[in-house]
Amino acid sequence: MQHGPAVRRRKLGAELRALRTGAGLTSGEAARLAGWHQSKVSRIETGASGVKPADVRLLLDVYGVEDAQLRELLLVLAGSDEGGGRHHWWHAYRGVLPPTYRDFISLESQARAMRTLETSVVPGLLQTPEYARAVTRAAVGGLDGDADDRLDALVAVRLARQDVLRADPPLKLSAVLDEAVLRREIGGPEVMARQLGRLMEAAQLPQVRLQVLPFGAGEHVGITGPFVIFSFSSTSDLDVVVLDHLTSSLYLERKEDLKAYTEAFNTLRIHALSPEESLDYIAALGGGV
């Protein structure tokens, strides 16, 4: 388990190595074409050191990579602030966002699909503004005075993240929600009722698959805690599992970890209610019809 930046360096290096090999170049030849020493290419490919976006751009040119989406994804992994549209908007909030949260948002903004198990709260991408404020206030502790500005900023970030569901193409979200998520009254009864209604609306979007795991399912493989699996369209080698903690996030990149969490998520989907049954279940709890 590693923190985001280390995982991104390793994944970036592995992808650049694959692209170099695909271009039929040795590391020495790539270094010569880039005007570098061979050791620099080796350090980049092993993730031993950070790499500037400009260096990544040069390597991609040397390797003849023209896929715009792949180029942008690799530049994001290198920490690039470039990009258009919905990408990189979070840099305006650098003062209030911890690095691990920025890493998470950067992956979320570039991902093709997101699979998540939630055991306590509604996924951030599906929260109403009132619910998001109540959850954020609880997560960061009591805030008053000038600190409310930070709370406002964090809520704004959470809501802005939801644009990935309206992008072209949109992020594909598959979420399994433990029944506790639906029954935990956050923000009061009115806020919770609106939140359940929001889940009902979101569940009917073609890019969203929502399933409820009822208490009646008993013990299950996800009982140890929530997790997120990000998948990317350009290459499966960039897929990653994220485990979120109170003060940090951990990123799992090994193939065996990805396989274990993918199998766990598939098992949870089997034991959860179907999307149709889940809609009825939420409606019965107060989400409307």
Choose among 103, 141, 151: nearest CA to 250. Answer: 103
Whole-number Å distance between alpha carbons of 230 and 13: 19
Q: CA of 3: how far to CAs of 102, 128, 162, 245, in Å?
A: 12, 29, 24, 12
How many degrees, rounded to 5, is the angle at CA 266 between CA 251 and CA 162?
A: 60
Q: List per-residue pLDDT tens for the chain, 289 residues long.
A: 344 456 677 778 888 999 999 999 999 999 999 999 999 999 999 887 778 889 999 999 999 999 887 887 788 777 665 544 345 688 788 788 887 788 788 888 878 999 999 999 999 999 999 999 999 998 877 545 557 788 999 999 999 999 999 998 999 999 999 999 999 999 999 999 999 999 999 999 999 999 999 998 888 887 778 999 999 876 556 788 998 765 567 888 888 999 999 999 999 999 999 999 999 999 998 755 4
pTM equals 0.79
Q: CA of 62: how far to CAs of 34, 35, 210, 235, 289, in Å?
A: 7, 11, 43, 20, 56
Whole-number Å distance between alpha carbons of 83 and 32: 29
